[in-house]
């Protein structure tokens, strides 16, 4: 992956004023609520999603 995936909003306050954190890859800082958090991609689910007959996804 050449670019870092950016979150759209803070998971704590919902604000969009996010900046990459200094703690390393996946770290983000929210200027609105002054919190720092990290995101990590764990992997793909083995079974994936099944489609319902009405077009919606079900687990």
Q: What's the pTM?
A: 0.64
Instruction: Give the end-to-end CA distance of the chain in Å, rounded to a whole number.
Output: 28
- How far is CA 13 from each of CA 6, 17, 36, 51, rounded to the nearest angstrom? 16, 10, 12, 33
Tens-place pLDDT, residues 27-57: 999 999 999 999 888 888 887 667 667 666 6
CA–CA dist 4, 10 (Å, integer): 16
Best CA proximity match to 21, nearest among 37, 32, 5, 44: 37
Beta bridge partners of 35: 30
Q: What is the pLDDT of residue 57?
A: 62
């Amino acid at each position: 992956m050449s670019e870092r995936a950016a979150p759209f909003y803070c998971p704590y306050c919902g604000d969009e004023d996010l900046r990459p954190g200094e703690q390393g890859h996946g770290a983000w800082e929210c200027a609105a609520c002054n919190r720092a958090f990290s995101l990590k991609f764990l992997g793909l689910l083995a079974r994936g999603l099944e489609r319902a007959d009405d077009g919606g996804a079900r687990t």
